[in-house]
Amino acid sequence: MWQGHELFLSSLPKLVPYIPVTLLCFLAPTAVSLVLGTLICRIRVGRKNALYYITSLFVSFFRGTPGLVQIFLFFFGLPKVFELFGVNINGWDAVVFYIIATCCNFSSFVSEALRGAYEAVDKGQIEAGYSIGYTRFQCFYHVIAPQTLQIALPNLKNLEIDLLKGVATAYVIGAIDVMGAAQRIISQHRGYGQIWILLAAAALYFVMNVVIEAVFNFLTYICNRHERVRI
């Protein structure tokens, strides 16, 4: 046992180089979902046309099935789909498949968080925007988006934290992030002292989460300025 913490300390520098991969698997879906999630949300609060039903199906699939299953489906399924068009993507890194699957999954969750928030925006604010002559885009950009985001922030924060922790599942398809690297070290040690190596990985995820939480708390602080009144 007394050697455990040494293993913990010696694994840390071996895991740290994989933090960028973890961050990539976290930031790429975050960025994509801001755009894709907003688009899906926009479609789902609008008229019930074909696009509405297609996106609804998309959202229910990705929200209703386990992320782990989706990762495998993309990892094994996507090359088959590309094969139909004569493109071979078997050489792609597993990280790419993880990111594509997660972008779809995460955008679905983000779109639902945004939709709930949009519905909670006071419609009087939107009308006030139109009354001073805003175009639809100006109203979206200056009134709807900031207020929707403010309402959605607590939910988004929870989703982002889950997203980061979820990256740990990427190793199942062979993507090497912090968790994947930890698994590798464990097998090099033939399973010996795996708890300490896993704890090292846990510590790194924890630190990254603390940063994410701080960023979101800061955003919330800024967005809620107007509610901290000085009366």
Partner 1 sequence: MPMVELKQIKKRLGGEDVLNGVDLSVGEGDVVVILGPSGSGKTTLLRTINFLNPADSGTVTVGGLTVDSAKHHHKEVLALRRKTGMVFQNYGLFKNKTVLRNITEGLTVVRKIKKEEAEKRAYELLEKVNLADKAGAYPAELSGGQQQRVGICRALALSPEVILFDEPTSALDPELVGEVLKTMKAVALTGITMIVVTHEISFAREVADKVVYMEGGVIVEEGTPREVIDHPKDERTLRFLRSILEDSMDYMI
Residues in touch with partner 1 (CB under 8 A): 122, 124-125, 127-136, 138, 142-143, 146-147, 150, 223, 225-227, 229-231
Query: What's the start-to-end Cα distance of the chain, in Å?
Result: 59
In terms of CB distance, is 47 or 225 closer to partner 1?
Answer: 225
Taking the C-alpha atoms of residue 107 and residue 199, their distance in angstroms, rounded to an integer, is 30
The minimum distance between CB 128 and partner 1, in angstroms, equals 4
- The structure tokens listed for 218 are 């800061």
Taking the C-alpha atoms of residue 81 and residue 84, their distance in angstroms, rounded to an integer, is 5
Taking the C-alpha atoms of residue 43 and residue 48, their distance in angstroms, rounded to an integer, is 8
The minimum distance between CB 146 and partner 1, in angstroms, equals 6
In terms of CB distance, is 114 or 201 closer to partner 1?
Answer: 114
The angle subtended at Cα 37 by Cα 155 and Cα 162, nearest 5°, is: 40
In terms of CB distance, is 95 or 144 closer to partner 1?
Answer: 144
State the amino acid at position 47 in one-letter form. Answer: R
Taking the C-alpha atoms of residue 165 and residue 176, their distance in angstroms, rounded to an integer, is 14
The minimum distance between CB 143 and partner 1, in angstroms, equals 7
In terms of CB distance, is 24 or 145 closer to partner 1?
Answer: 145
In terms of CB distance, is 93 or 127 closer to partner 1?
Answer: 127
The minimum distance between CB 42 and partner 1, in angstroms, equals 17
The minimum distance between CB 131 and partner 1, in angstroms, equals 4
Taking the C-alpha atoms of residue 11 and residue 13, their distance in angstroms, rounded to an integer, is 6
